[in-house]
Amino acid sequence: MPVRDLDRILDLAVAALHEQDPEQLWSPLAVEILRVCGAEFLVFVSRDWVGCEDAVHVWLPDGTVRSQVGEHAQQLIRHCKPLTGYYATSNDRTPVTASQVVGEAEWRDSVMAQRKREALASDHILGVPLPDASEPFRGCLVHRTGSGFTDEHLAFARRIQPLLAGVDRQAALLRNYRASTAKAPSGQAGPDPAEGAAESGLTPRETDVLALLADALTATAISRRLGISVRTVQKHTENIYRKLGTSDRVTTVLHAQARRIIPVREVAARPTPGRSGGIHSTCR
C-alpha cells in the first residue's frame, strides 16, 4: 500500500478522535474509501437489514448522502447477495468481493449482477465488514463500475477495517454520551455537553475516558472498551485532571458533573489505594 494512503488513514483516525458530532464521523471515511477504490458509491450497514424498514443512505465521492433511493434499488442494496449470505454463514470477516465469493464468470453472468447493473449502474461490490461477528453483516458495501477491485483495493480495505471499527465504537460512545446528558435533573433540557467539554478544553476522546471513569472502570477496562492501550488511557486521564484542575477520580467526576460535562449520578466508591486495578495503580 502506498505510504500516502497509510498516512491518510492516520490522519482520518486523528480527525475522528477530535470530532464532536457522531453523525459527522462517517463522511471523511466514505470519501477516502471511494477515492482509493475508484468507486461510485458505498453504503454503511449498521445492523442486519433483512426485514427492517430503515432507509438506505448512499454515500457519494464528494461526501454527500443520497437518501432518496428508489424502493427497487433499496432492496437490491439491502440484500446484496451473495455477500450478505457469505458473511451470515461464515465467521470470516476478511474484505471480499462478490466475484470472489461465487467466481468472476458466475458473478458477471448472474441475475443479481444484471439487476444491479440496470438499477444501480454497479458492476462490482466489495464488502468491508467490521471485525465483530455478532451480526450477519456490519460494515460498508462499496460499489464500483467498469473493471473489478484490484489486490491493492483489497489490501487497503483490510488496512482500513480497524479504523472502521474504531469509528463505529466512537460514534456509539458519542451518541450514548449525548443521550445521557441531554436532560437536566429537573427533566428540563440541559446545556449541550459537547459545549461544556469544549469549554474545559477536553477532546472527544478525553470525554469518552471521563465518562468511563465515572462508571468506575479501571484503566485496563477502559482500554478494552475503547480499543486503546492502558498507557494511552493513563495519558488521557492525566490530561483530564490537568484541564479540570483536579488530582483524583472522585473530584474529577464531581467537577465534570457540576459543569454538565457528564450526567449527575452517584459516584462509585473510591478503590483502596494500591489494590490491583484500583485508581492509584491504573488511572493516575
Domains of the chain: 3-170 (3.30.450.270), 181-282 (1.10.10.10)
Q: What is the pLDDT of residue 165?
A: 86
Find the length of the chain: 284
pLDDT at 111 over 60: yes
Q: What is the pLDDT of residues 49-91, one digit of tens each?
A: 555 556 678 899 998 888 767 777 777 777 777 888 888 888 8
pLDDT band at 239 (very low <50, low <70, confident <90, very high): very high
Mean pLDDT of the chain: 79
User: Phi then psi for 219, rounded to 5 degrees?
Assistant: -60, -40
Q: Of 272, 262, 264, 144, which Cα lies nearest the Cα of 212?
A: 262
pLDDT at 5 over 90: no
**Under a CB-based contact definition with an 8 Å cutoff, are residues 181 and 193 in contact?**
yes
Measured CA to CA, the distance from residue 98 to residue 102 in angstroms comes to 7
Q: What is the pLDDT of residues 11-53, one digit of tens each?
A: 888 787 777 777 788 889 999 999 999 999 998 877 655 555 5
pLDDT band at 277 (very low <50, low <70, confident <90, very high): very low
Buried b (16+ CB within 10 A) or exposed e, 253-276: bebbbebbbbbbeeeeeebeeeee
- Residue of 279 and 141 predicted with greater confidence: 141
Query: What amino acid is encoded at 112 in this protein?
Result: M
| Minimum mean pLDDT range among 132-146, 154-168, 189-203, 223-237 | 189-203
Arithmetic mean of pLDDT, 192-219 = 82
Arithmetic mean of pLDDT, 158-181 = 81
Question: Residue 20 CB: number of other CB atoms within 10 A?
Answer: 17
